[in-house]
Amino acid sequence: MNSKITWEDLRQEFLEIGGPGECWRSEVKRICQFRIRQKQNLSLPAELFGFVDWDAEDLAQTVITDRLLARRQAQFIVDTVDSIDHARRLLSNEVSFTLEDRRVPNQVDNVWLNLEPRLRQAGWTPTDRKAGNGVEREEYQINEIARKLLNLKRLRNRGQQRLSPLFAGETLAGFAEEIVRDYPKVSAYVIQMALRMALSKISPRMSMEAVGNTQDEFAAVAGQSGLSWVDDLDSSEGLSEHAARVLEVLGAEGSEIAFLIASGASQSEIAAVIGVSRPTAIKRIAQTEELLLKTLKSLKLGEEENLKILQEVFALLGVGISDGVMVK
Amino acid sequence: MKNNYQHFKFEVGQIRKLDSIMGIASSRLVAIAEVDSKDATCLVFLLGNTTDAATPRDVVLSIDVTNLPYEVALMGDYLARADQARLINNPILGHIPHALIENIRSAILDNPFGGIKFNDSTFGVQTGSYPAQKFDAVWTFRDAEAANFALLTFVRNKTSLEYAVKFYITNIDNFEAFAEPDVPPDALRLIAISQERIEVPA
């Protein structure tokens, strides 16, 4: 029966009763059923979106009340659309937005919830974004705070646990004090944007810059993190030169691939970051590994020195070795 | 459905539906940024309802600004030329102040990369804050919007025969337009050959 609904039916119904009616409900429900099947195929529990179980009727009612009525999106559809396919695509978007609105908090929310009380404890009071500084100043602050956050020592991921804590309480407290000291009037918006920037998928260029591109800056960060290679860093000045040369040979893409491999990224993830297909990524990974070995061999040093140079390369890339395991 | 009596008059800031092209592109809401009566076209900004996913290059317009019953996001980079014929049959749904449209245009031209540095306290509108990320759903959505918008609009080439013909048809009852310095030569030729030949007695 649903397949027989035309755009004219939906439009007429809307104009007659001044809002979405039975035709709209059945159309939305049909899209919800399809979307629920997709979620079930991915084994996503309904609780993830705040529902007790996957029920198309519940989801359809939520879409209609929250989006089509409360946000007048039904009116937008009537104003914009002139075919049933176009209407279905927009309704499908509304279902996506509803699911997104109801999604349980993500890692950004998680870190913010842990950080905010510590910020207040350190003397921070939320300021109105409009009363703050200009857009340029905001952008600068977002970048700076994101950079500082990326340089914090992270906790190990606890397997499959969702929202495994990223930072220890003490680390966040120190971070909060640093923010209050450096940016006393920063708005909550700026901090949240910085969290989002730092914790979202990081583009290759950003990850290289965010980690710090000078030896002094990195050493300062590394000094706080307590990684095992820090003790040897200052004793061999030649190491950093060799490491810099290795990175130069690897180039921007090669360095990024090395960073991702060391971070435990899968081939598909590496492909997504460098913007190529998986087979191409596999070839590039092999090329990078070969180039890295060739460059190290060309230095004609012992195995121990090569290992130290490799550690230094990873250090420059923002990867350390702790307890024999590579950590970001 | 208000302002129905003004359907045939185009003004900067009007929000209208841009008609679909059957089987090729679907209709969209647009805001008129410039009107050119010479070839019956308008420069239009694309409007969308994805205010939750508005990027720093979009301007989110509240219902107080537009008089629409819903919020819209003006997509700053989606500015192109459309035929007035695709707009004229549709009612004026809302209106964005002329000055605001001009502010948005200059903000976008002044900031070709990154977020628009635009904060208009007079009208109380703000740019979006959704972080655009390569390959995510919003990226794909915007890509599809760009493709659809490109099909609904066109790039005007003032030296093309198409423009000359359009100019000729639009201004056939207005000979003064042919006296303008920027009249396309092909339009002059068309008007010349379409007029009755004046017989001069020997």
Question: What are the C-alpha distances in Å from A184 to residues A112, A141, A195, A204, B117?
Answer: 17, 11, 17, 31, 23
How far B144 CA lies from chain A's nearest CA (Å)? 12
Facing residues of A327 across strands? Answer: A320
The pLDDT assigned to A200 comes to 65
The CA-CA-CA angle for residues A3, B138, A99, to 5°, reads 60
Q: How far apart are CA B49 and CA A4, in angstroms?
A: 27
How far A45 CA lies from chain B's nearest CA (Å)? 21
How many CB atoms sit inside 10 A of residue A298's CB?
A: 11
Q: How far apart are CA B59 and CA B168, in angstroms?
A: 37
Percent of chain B scoring above 70 in pLDDT: 91
Q: What structural domains and CATH numbers belong to chain B?
A: 4-152 (2.30.30.110), 161-194 (no CATH)
Q: What is the DSSP letter of B75?
A: E
Which of B70, B121, B129 is opposite residue A193, by nearest beta carbon? B129
Inter-chain CB proximity A203 and B134 less than 8 Å: yes
The answer to whether A72 faces chain B, any CB pair under 8 Å, is yes
> For residues A170, A175, A178 and A182, what is the CA-based torsion angle, rounded to 10 degrees?
-170
pLDDT at residue B76 is higher than 80 = yes
Q: How far apart are CA B146 and CA B193, in angstroms?
A: 41
Q: How far apart are CA A262 and CA A264, in angstroms?
A: 5
Question: What are the C-alpha distances in Å from A188 to residues A135, A138, A144, B120, B126?
Answer: 15, 11, 15, 21, 17
The answer to whether B49 faces chain A, any CB pair under 8 Å, is yes
Question: What are the C-alpha distances in Å from A4 to residues A12, A23, A75, A84, B20?
Answer: 15, 10, 22, 10, 22
- DSSP per position, A223-271: HHHT-TTHHHHTT-HHHHHHHHHHHHHHHHHHHHHHHHHHTT--HHHHH
Residues 6 or more apart in contact with residue B108 via CB below 8 angstroms: B57, B76, B77, B79, B116
The pLDDT assigned to A177 comes to 93
The answer to whether A39 faces chain B, any CB pair under 8 Å, is no
Has the ipTM of the complex gone over 0.90?
no
**Farthest-apart Cα atoms in chain B, separation:** 78
Structure tokens that stand for B95 in this block: 């209106």
pLDDT tens track for A28-46: 999 999 999 988 887 778 8
Contact of A189 with A129, CB cutoff 8 Å:
yes
Q: How far apart are CA A317 and CA A253, in angstroms?
A: 12
Tell which phi-psi region holds residue A258, choosing left (phi > 0), alpha (psi between -120 and 50) or beta: alpha
- For chains A and B, CB pairs below 8 A equal 62
Based on the number of CB atoms within 10 Å of its own CB, is B30 exposed (0-12), middle (13-18) or buried (19 or more)? Answer: buried
Question: What are the C-alpha distances in Å from B79 to residues A69, B9, B18, B57, B74?
Answer: 30, 21, 13, 12, 10
> What residues of B are in contact with residue A79 (Cβ under 8 Å)?
17, 29, 68, 93
Secondary-structure breakdown of chain B: helix, strand, coil percentages, each rounded to the nearest 5: 35, 25, 45
Residues 6 or more apart in contact with residue A99 via CB below 8 angstroms: A35, A49, A59
How many CB atoms sit inside 10 A of residue B66's CB?
A: 23
Q: What is the DSSP letter of A66?
A: I
Phi/psi at B161 (5° precision): -65, -30
Inter-chain CB proximity A71 and B93 less than 8 Å: no
pLDDT at residue B124 is higher than 80 = no
The pLDDT assigned to A271 comes to 79
Question: What are the C-alpha distances in Å from A256 to residues A143, A149, A228, B135, B139?
Answer: 20, 20, 23, 18, 23
Q: How far apart are CA A196 and CA B131, in angstroms?
A: 8
Residue of B nearest to A202 (CA): B133
Question: What are the C-alpha distances in Å from B76 to residues B33, B43, B104, B196?
Answer: 11, 13, 8, 48
The pLDDT assigned to B119 comes to 63
Tens digit of each residue's pLDDT, chain A (328 residues) = 455 889 999 999 999 999 999 999 999 999 999 999 988 887 778 887 888 899 999 999 999 999 999 999 999 999 999 899 999 999 999 998 899 888 777 777 788 888 988 998 999 887 766 544 566 778 888 889 998 888 887 766 555 555 667 778 888 899 999 999 998 888 888 898 888 888 764 333 222 222 333 333 333 333 343 333 333 334 445 677 777 778 878 877 788 788 777 766 778 777 777 777 888 888 888 888 888 888 888 877 777 777 878 877 777 776 655 555 555 4
> What residues of A are in contact with residue B69 (Cβ under 8 Å)?
72, 75
The answer to whether B115 faces chain A, any CB pair under 8 Å, is yes
